[in-house]
Amino acid sequence: MYREQIDAYIDAHKEQLIDDVMKLVRIDSQRTQEEPGKPYGEGPAEVLEAAKELMDSYGFAVRNYENRVVTGDFNEKEKQLDILAHLDVVPVTKDWTVTEPFKPVIRDGKIYGRGTADDKGPAMAALYAMKAIKDLGIELDYNVRLILGSDEECGSSDLVYYYGIEKEAPMSFTPDADYPVINIEKGHFSKKFHAAFEDCEALPKIVKIQGGDKVNVVPANAKAVILGLEEQAALDAAKKAENETKVKFTVTKNQEEIVITAKGVAGHASTPEVGNSALTALLQLLAGLEAAPSQGFDRIRALAELFPHNDYYGKGMGVDMEDEISGKLTMNLGVFQYSPTSLSGQFDSRVPICGTEENVTRVGKKNMEEAGLTMEEGPMTPPHHVPGDSVFVQTLLESYETYTGIKGKPLAIGGGTYVHGLERGVAFGCMVPEVDNHMHGDNEFMDIDMLVTSTKIFADVIVKLCKK
């Protein structure tokens, strides 16, 4: 009944929608040093104020939560739906070629600029969905609230603050991910570990290992320095490991030291099978050397067993598991350093719904202790799940299918979204997995047709969920 009216309204206001997206993109809202009254710095506070002015001008009741979050309410009735988006952005480089990051342009049906896809464009799509319903005079029996945060990229302390004051709505979604709908986000088991031991003078011995820069990235580079090893032995070991792992090894001699470098393929920790870890390949090589016995070398061999090369699923750690709806646990050794007297590192594991403190955290801790390694204390971030057969999720899928003509089904991911901490929150739009919007990269863009379609989808969802 209302769909044709809403669709015609959104089509008629397409240029205004684009203008408002570009208005927000022009604001550099990277987090900076805290200032009085501006917990995330000048840019995030400025973009929140700009969004507040827009929501106020479009007739919504607005509130600013200490320059962390701003909200816009459709009406004063009982709240049924929260839509969460964020207006802060990730850092930029000077390598953009289409435009400068904060000077948005339109080319080939796309808006280019930092934040167009993540998450200023989707935020404005949600706002214009509410605006269409309000301007058309469509009465809602429940309230929908748009929540715009400003610290998603640096840990979501904005939502911690907000939900310390406000209650979660019966239903929540964030348009900060992919269609059709993400209703499962795996748990996060990421821990640092360390060990200390006595130096050993006997040769050959490993004096240094360095691999990885970020725990959530499969290491593409790693290096080891070995003292007292014959060059030919190193070359033979490198050739053998290269054949076994498909990682490229280079051996160089520097006076009395042998330096072995490994070149693999980077990947995200949530999908480690896409990469090829230089670090675990190097550990495999080193564990097979005829090095002098020592406490340090024992730890290296133990690590090679805990994190075997191409063990993407935590079998070496003893935590491999899988369930039907969220898939397999994944494991990535992301960062590692070694010296003659100590080692330290950090791994990143994404845990399916069947994972618990008992069968993941405690098992991992026990097996690391048996290997002579100390794992940091603390629980894992538990998996997040909203049932796929719920009225909420099925309504989202129905609206998605209506406007795209594509049959949708709920998705499980290894990463986390803006609603991971909400009991009843899912991720819904605005991107599709097959299109690379260059989120977090150079030349980020938002497809205008997808922006308009998403606005219509969101409006359809709001009416269905908030009107009896």
DSSP string across 285-298: HHHTS-PPP-HHHH
The residue from 7, 82, 88, 185 that is catalytic is 88
CATH 3.40.630.10 domain locations along the chain: 2-186+384-466
Classified by CATH at the fold level, domain 192-375 comes out as: Alpha-Beta Plaits (3.30.70)
Question: Over the stretch 67-110, which tens digit does the pLDDT of each residue have?
Answer: 999 999 999 999 999 999 999 999 999 999 999 999 999 999 99
Count of Cβ atoms closer than 10 Å to residue 379 Cβ: 10
CATH 3.30.70.360 domain locations along the chain: 192-375
152 is a catalytic site residue = yes
Confidence at residue 268, expressed as pLDDT on a 0 to 100 scale: 87
Kindly give the pairing relationship between strand 430-431 and strand 267-268: unpaired
Confidence at residue 433, expressed as pLDDT on a 0 to 100 scale: 84
2-186+384-466 has CATH 3.40.50.300 classification = no
pTM of the full structure: 0.84
Contact 32, 39 (CB under 8 A): no
Contact 281, 247 (CB under 8 A): yes
82 is a catalytic site residue = no
For residue 222, what are the CA distances in angstroms to 213, 239, 279, 323?
A: 10, 16, 5, 33
Per-residue burial over 91-111, b = 16 or more CB atoms within 10 Å of its CB, e = otherwise: ebeeebebbebbebeeeeebb
Q: Report how far residue 216's alpha carbon sits from residue 331's, in angstroms, rounded to the nearest whole number.
A: 10
Confidence at residue 119, expressed as pLDDT on a 0 to 100 scale: 95
Q: Which residues of the chain have pLDDT under 50?
A: none
* C-alpha 459 chain-centroid distance: 27
Q: Report how far residue 161's alpha carbon sits from residue 70's, in angstroms, rounded to the nearest whole number.
A: 12
Question: Over the stretch 342-359, which tens digit does the pLDDT of each residue have?
Answer: 999 999 999 999 999 999
The residue from 118, 152, 185, 460 that is catalytic is 152
Contact 128, 13 (CB under 8 A): yes
Q: Report how far residue 388's alpha carbon sits from residue 182's, in angstroms, rounded to the nearest whole number.
A: 9
Mutual angle of helices 42-57 and 14-25, in 10-degree steps: 160
Q: Report how far residue 53's alpha carbon sits from residue 407's, in angstroms, rounded to the nearest whole number.
A: 38
